[in-house]
Amino acid sequence: MQKKEKGLSAWQLTMMALGTVIGGSFFLGSAVSIHAAGPAVLFSFILGGVLVYFILYALSEMTVANPDAGSFRTFAARAFGQGTGFVVGWVYWTGMVLAMSSEATAVSILLREWIPNVPTALLGSLIIIGVTLLNLLGADKLSKLESGLAAIKLLAIGSFILAAVCLIAGWLPEHRAIGTGELAKEPLMPSGIKGVAGSMLIVVSSYSGFEIIGLAASEAEDPKNTVPKAINRTVLWLVGLYILSEAVLLPLIPTADINENTSPMVAALDRQGIGWAGTVLNIVLITAILSTMLAAMFGLGRMIRSLADEGQAPGWLKEEQDVPRRGILFSGFGMMVGLALGLMFPRVYLFLVSSGGFALLFIYAAIMATHIRFRKQNGCPPDGKCQLWGFPYTSLVVLILLVLAILSMPFVPGQESGLIAGMAMVVFYSLCYQMTKRRTKRDLRHRTASAHNSCQSRQK
């Protein structure tokens, strides 16, 4: 693969990460977590932010030591063997494909408010095709497009926070001060601790996508400096914006009135009589979700190329070009299949986001387990830059919490199918690796025997 003379900057990596993270899982999917946990969803988002902090810095330590294009898949393979790397790579690819199929579904749901007669399947398919074709432009052009789209959605979240604060304080004309509003009327945990635990899948999914920094590290300018800077900025922006937006949302609307078919922000503004703002926000939501899909496709193409380079993906996906076109097109086809699969379930969006969420939680657990092994084998990265404090206790606690979040999925109705699909994914790819391993050994024996017979024939 040809190497770029100038790679991605820390700012471009940050905007690409924010472009991937802030999408449908937050703007639309957070409705599921708010409905499940009630006002206690704030604790879920704070805990999710803490988990993201530790996962990102664990990934950063390994990435600084080796900015490989395969990122966490390569690290897992080195720590636990090729079988683990195979499963981690393919589960991540499948999970992100399903998650992005859910993003396409989310855009379709939003668009149908204006064009109700167009089927979700057609809208979703057109969106996936457009995102796939745009990704063929390459990393530099895509990062510039992502920076613009990410800026739009950051502005949208900031505008919502400002509007909500004005409503709460009574600073808008013809609107009385809401104060604590609906927040004062609701119990902290309407569904108990189970609701909070069950909400963690969607909350962590709302933060998902930050791992794009690791996948893009091989194309970064001076990865040892740009990657840690990008991670610092990503954590600060994400945690701050998410917690603030949820905090000002809760007084505006009862959590029981929120569902996954409407963005909580739009529903809250509509309820307060600011329907025009909700319409504007809906338009922004569409651009936000599209930017998430664009950035995610960037990572998917590179993951497929990494798998193909290791002989763990079909040979026809291997390529030497700077832009992994075959991997991108293959991932786009996978999203179309994911969209079709999701449409077979009555609650399409929830199935796709929960099954994709399972895969991402599984990957984050694998990152923490790999980091524990990495630090025990190698100590700190080059130059002694240990960024994750409290090792090994913090890594172990985060790993346990991620496993508990997976086990808590059935606490939210509708997520059981996602848990089953996720577990089936892990089992399926484990069996695939065993079959691939046996076939490789059989082919090796066959080639060895053929070479031996050929040698004997020449001797005669």
Predicted confidence (pLDDT) per residue in 339-375, tens digit:
887 777 656 666 777 787 888 889 999 999 999 998 8
Here the CATH number for the domain that contains residue 280 is 1.20.1740.10
Residue 162 lies in a domain: yes
In 3D space, the residue among 121, 134, 135, 123 whose CA is nearest the CA of residue 338 turns out to be 121
Nearest to 303 by CA among 423, 384, 430, 216: 216
Instruction: Tell me the residue type at 164.
Output: A
Q: Which two tokens stand for residue 208?
A: 């998902």
Residues 429, 432, 438, 443: what is their CA dihedral angle, to the nearest 10 degrees? -120
What pLDDT was estimated at residue 218? 66
The residue among 106, 338, 147, 322 whose CA lies nearest residue 230 is: 147
Sequence-separated (6 or more) residues with CB below 8 Å from residue 17: 209, 210, 212, 213, 230, 234, 295
pLDDT of 51 above 50: yes
212 belongs to a structural domain: yes
Q: Is residue 455 part of a domain?
A: no
112 within domain boundaries: yes
* Contact call for residues 93 and 81 (beta carbons, < 8 A): no
State the chain's mean pLDDT as an integer.
80
So what's the pLDDT on residue 386?
65
Quick check: is 213 in a domain?
yes
Segments forming the whole domain that contains residue 130? 10-424
2 has a pLDDT exceeding 50 = no
pLDDT at residue 159 in the model: 84
Q: What is the pLDDT of residues 395-430, one digit of tens each?
A: 999 999 899 888 888 877 777 888 888 899 999 999
Is the separation of the CB atoms in 205 and 25 below 8 Å?
Answer: yes
Give pLDDT, residue 312: 86
With H, G, I as helix, E, B as strand and everything else as coil, classify residue 56: helix
Evaluate whether residue 37 is within a structural domain.
yes
pLDDT in tens, 157-203: 888 889 889 989 888 877 788 888 788 888 888 778 888 887 887 78
- Report the Cα 274 to chain-centroid distance in Å: 31
Between 242 and 450, name the one with better pLDDT: 242
More confident: 142 or 238: 238
Q: Say how far apart CA 387 and CA 228 lie, in whole Å.
A: 9
Domain count, the chain: 1
287-299 per-position pLDDT tens digit: 877 877 887 888 8
pLDDT single digits (tens) 256-301: 888 766 778 888 888 888 877 767 777 777 887 787 788 788 888 8
Cβ atoms of residues 147 and 155 within 8 Å: no
Residue 432 in domain: no
Instruction: Kindly report the length of the chain.
Output: 460
Give a yes or no: residue 3 inside a domain: no
Average pLDDT over residues 69-88: 85
Residues whose CB is less than 8 angstroms from the CB of residue 179 and which lie 6 or more positions away in sequence, other chains included: 168, 251
Of the candidate ranges 143-147, 225-229, 317-321, the one whose mean pLDDT is the lowest: 143-147
